[in-house]
């Protein structure tokens, strides 16, 4: 009887354990079924026109250079074209900014219908373009490329200026000065090229920069009085250039030291107003009568 009871007890234990586990699995399955499956977002696609070959400044668009690819409707760039027919519907267009392979063709990088690749299309409204003659030295070894920022430096012999000639005392080269004519000017073209993605050095005999109206006048005047050269600015440098005239005396080894300071002192002395005489008030009492007199004041030792 004890053995039979032990057998039935073991069977009941295993049966109870099996029932508990099955109930737990059933509850878990019911809870899982009650959780709704996540709904994947529905993405709407449309086509967009991209370049299938590199497009450079001045190139006229052709159907063979363009392709239509699927693009998310919610992330279509502003100014993009959905079809090649819509891009060329009003006439042929010319590339004004470089476009790489599989890059969307945007309206901001193209000319108008039947337009031309003119320099004026690349300029900021209200700005002017001027050209400076350069060589390997004045053009920073050919490392100036379209899109860079430069300072225009004027070097000239200022010996005809009376103050400079007087303080120079005849020292060789002491009357040569340099100054920044235009600071932080954008380079539009180097020679005849306007490709902003040109990275290799290019020696050219001219560089065209974008300046204000006043800057254009300064460059035009500076071309007639001396030699112009370019100073390439760092891409992270957004500050203004240091003003002022630099002379040989700035190096500290010339008898022409003090040329700029002397010229400034002469200008200050010439424009300074004459000092007015100082007076003191003297009170004189005669009986009951009090009188005041203004007499010149003398500096006390």
- Chain-wide mean pLDDT for the chain? 75
Q: Model confidence at 301, in pLDDT bands (50, 70, 90)?
A: very low
What's CA 10's distance to the chain center, in Å? 85
What residues contact 296, with CB distance under 8 A and at least 6 apart?
277, 278, 279, 280
Q: Over the stretch 84-97, which tens digit does the pLDDT of each residue have?
A: 998 888 888 888 88
Q: Of the candidates 164, 178, 182, which has an alpha carbon nearest to the alpha carbon of residue 264?
A: 164
Residue 168, classed as helix, strand or coil, is helix
pLDDT at 51: 92
pLDDT at 105: 92
pLDDT at 212: 92
pLDDT at 300: 45
Burial 192-205 (b: 16+ CB within 10 A, else e): eebbbebeeebebe
Across 189-193, 225-229, 239-243, 286-290, least confident range: 239-243
Q: Model confidence at 31, in pLDDT bands (50, 70, 90)?
A: low
Residue 36 DSSP label: P
Radius of gyration, CA atoms only, the chain = 41
- Report d(CA 279, CA 298) in Å as an integer: 9
What mean pLDDT is predicted for residues 38-63? Answer: 83
Q: Residue 25 above 50 pLDDT?
A: yes
Q: Of the candidates 127, 121, 125, which has an alpha carbon nearest to the alpha carbon of residue 215?
A: 127
pLDDT at 272: 52
pLDDT at 62: 87
Q: Residue 243 above 50 pLDDT?
A: yes
- Tracing tokens 């000639």 back to the chain, one arrives at 165
| 96, HSE (Cβ side, Cα atoms, 13 Å) | 19
pLDDT at 35: 64
Q: Residue 156 above 50 pLDDT?
A: yes
- Helices assigned H by DSSP within the chain: 2-34, 84-87, 162-168, 213-225, 259-271
What mean pLDDT is predicted for residues 123-147? Answer: 81
- Report d(CA 227, CA 219) in Å as an integer: 11
Q: Over the stretch 259-298, which tens digit does the pLDDT of each residue have?
A: 445 445 444 544 455 566 676 777 766 666 767 767 676 6
């Amino acid at each position: 009887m004890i053995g039979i009871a032990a057998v039935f007890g073991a069977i009941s234990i295993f049966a109870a354990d099996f029932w508990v586990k099955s109930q737990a699995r059933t509850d878990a399955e019911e809870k899982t079924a009650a959780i709704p499956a996540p709904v994947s977002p529905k993405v709407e696609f449309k086509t967009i026109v991209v370049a299938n070959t590199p497009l450079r400044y001045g190139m006229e668009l052709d159907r063979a250079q363009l392709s239509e690819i699927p693009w998310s409707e919610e992330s279509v760039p502003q100014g993009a074209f959905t079809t090649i027919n819509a891009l060329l519907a009003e006439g042929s267009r010319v590339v004004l900014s470089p476009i790489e392979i599989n890059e969307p063709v945007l309206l901001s990088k193209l000319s108008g219908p039947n337009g031309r690749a003119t320099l004026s299309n690349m300029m900021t409204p209200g700005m002017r373009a001027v050209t400076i003659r350069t060589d390997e030295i004045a053009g920073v070894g050919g490392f100036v490329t379209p899109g860079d920022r430069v300072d225009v430096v004027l070097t000239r012999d200022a010996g005809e200026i009376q103050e400079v000639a007087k303080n120079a005392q005849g020292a060789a080269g002491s009357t040569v000065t340099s100054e920044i004519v235009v600071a932080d000017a954008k380079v539009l073209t180097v020679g005849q090229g306007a490709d902003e993605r040109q990275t290799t050095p290019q020696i050219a005999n001219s560089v065209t920069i974008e300046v204000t109206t006043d800057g254009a006048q300064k460059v035009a005047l500076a071309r007639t009085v001396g030699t112009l050269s370019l100073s390439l600015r760092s891409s992270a440098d957004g500050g203004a250039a240091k003003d002022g005239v630099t002379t040989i005396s700035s190096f500290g080894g010339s008898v022409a030291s003090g040329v700029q300071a002397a010229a400034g002192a002469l200008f200050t002395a010439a424009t300074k107003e004459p000092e007015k005489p100082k007076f003191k008030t003297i009170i004189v009492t005669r009986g009951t009568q009090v009188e005041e007199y203004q007499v010149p004041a003398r500096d006390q030792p």
